[in-house]
């Protein structure tokens, strides 16, 4: 027994997911469930962003474009053709991949801040287009007001539920799925190529790595899964609007969460989301009326502190702390033997 304990290496991410699985069994408060749902939702999106931002070094500030395309794609099919969002979400993912190819392929020649600015311009233009367009032929877009999804009867097929716990289980499954995908990418040739491109693109190119091909592949994978998250968000809130979904602040939030948790790590974006989303909710509840910008101020202070004191993010530091604790724990067990 002692030998088993001394060799034990806890998988904190697995334990964390197990805890999330049992929370709805004990927590019935719909508000609390909503906060956890939003934390998992942003953890999902930040993990999608991490595929390109953390692995490939493509510092995108336009990922909200893929969220919006996924939400609008599935919602239009649902409202006009009564197609289930479960099917429509893949159509939204297809639209996001097309957009990713259109914007990504020519912009891959740019690097660093220039690539970031190009993605920022893309989502800004897309937001203006959707805000100014009420319909395209028979397709209703709703302009600045957006689209409202009517409440029907509770139905899994139509992705509508009266109880938040069903949305909870869905986004938890999506979060686990993207974590598995990111982990798979990280430990395959694709992940190794992306990391090589991230660290030294010219060296990777000289060694025969098809830089543009692997950048585009990671970009499309990230866009597709991000768009699926857009469909979930639309069905959760039952409204799709360019002001929220196609916004620069939405894109920046994903970057902030990854940076704080640990960019390029598997658990980092999840950690960042579960720190910032509940914090943002508390700040809005306490100061939202009198100090509407307090959330942005606090986020900015956190980013500055992380850059100065924890440049690699919180996740690596937590790992070091856990390793130190386990070393002390094992030493204590050995002394007792």
pLDDT tens-digit map of 171-195: 999 999 999 999 999 989 999 999 9
The confidence score (pLDDT) of residue 152 equals 79
Quick one: pLDDT at residue 301?
Answer: 79
Which pLDDT tens digit goes with each residue over 282-336? 877 776 655 556 767 777 777 777 777 776 666 666 666 656 655 664 555 566 6
Average pLDDT over residues 51-75: 93
| pLDDT band per the 50, 70, 90 thresholds, residue 155 | confident
DSSP state, residue 63 = T
Residue 113 pLDDT > 90? no
Q: Is the pLDDT reported for residue 103 higher than 70?
A: yes
Chain-centroid distance of CA 180 in Å reads 14
pLDDT band at 19 (very low <50, low <70, confident <90, very high): very high
pLDDT in tens, 229-277: 999 999 999 999 998 889 888 888 898 899 888 888 899 999 999 999 9
User: Residue 8: its pLDDT value, please?
Assistant: 38
Query: ∠ CA 138-141-142 to the nearest 5 degrees?
Result: 115
Residue with tokens 């986020």: 299
Measured distance CA(203)–CA(200) in Å, rounded: 5
Q: Which of 224, 230, 69, 73 is nearest to 139 (CA)?
A: 73
């Amino acid at each position: 027994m002692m030998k088993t304990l001394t060799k034990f290496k806890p998988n904190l991410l697995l334990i964390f997911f197990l805890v999330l699985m049992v929370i709805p069994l004990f927590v019935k408060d719909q508000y609390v469930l909503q906060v956890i749902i939003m934390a998992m939702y942003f953890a999902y999106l930040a993990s999608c962003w991490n595929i390109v931002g953390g692995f490939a070094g493509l510092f995108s500030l336009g990922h909200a474009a893929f969220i919006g395309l996924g939400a609008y794609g599935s919602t239009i099919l649902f409202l006009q053709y009564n197609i289930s969002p479960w099917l429509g979400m893949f159509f939204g993912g297809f639209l996001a991949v097309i957009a990713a190819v259109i914007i990504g392929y020519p912009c891959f020649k740019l690097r660093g801040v220039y690539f970031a600015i190009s993605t920022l311009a893309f989502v800004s233009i897309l937001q203006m287009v959707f805000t100014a367009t009420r319909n395209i032929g028979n397709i209703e877009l709703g302009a600045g007001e957006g689209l409202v999804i009517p409440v029907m009867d509770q139905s899994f097929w139509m992705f509508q539920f009266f109880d938040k716990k069903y949305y909870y289980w869905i986004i938890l499954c999506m979060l686990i799925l993207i974590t598995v995908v990111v982990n798979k990418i990280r430990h395959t040739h694709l992940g190794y190529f992306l990391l090589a491109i991230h660290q030294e693109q010219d060296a990777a190119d000289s060694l025969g790595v098809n830089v543009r091909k692997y950048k585009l592949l990671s970009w499309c994978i990230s866009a597709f899964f991000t768009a699926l998250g857009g469909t979930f968000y639309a069905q959760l809130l039952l409204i799709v609007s360019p002001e929220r979904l196609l916004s620069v602040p939405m894109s920046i939030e994903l970057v902030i969460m990854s940076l704080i948790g640990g960019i390029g790590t598997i658990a980092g974006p999840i950690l960042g989301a579960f720190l910032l989303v509940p914090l943002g909710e508390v700040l809005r509840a306490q100061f939202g009326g009198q100090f509407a910008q307090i959330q942005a101020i606090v986020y900015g202070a956190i980013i500055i502190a992380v850059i100065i004191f924890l440049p690699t993010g919180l996740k690596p530091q937590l790992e070091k702390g856990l390793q130190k604790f386990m070393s002390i724990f094992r030493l204590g067990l050995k002394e007792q033997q």
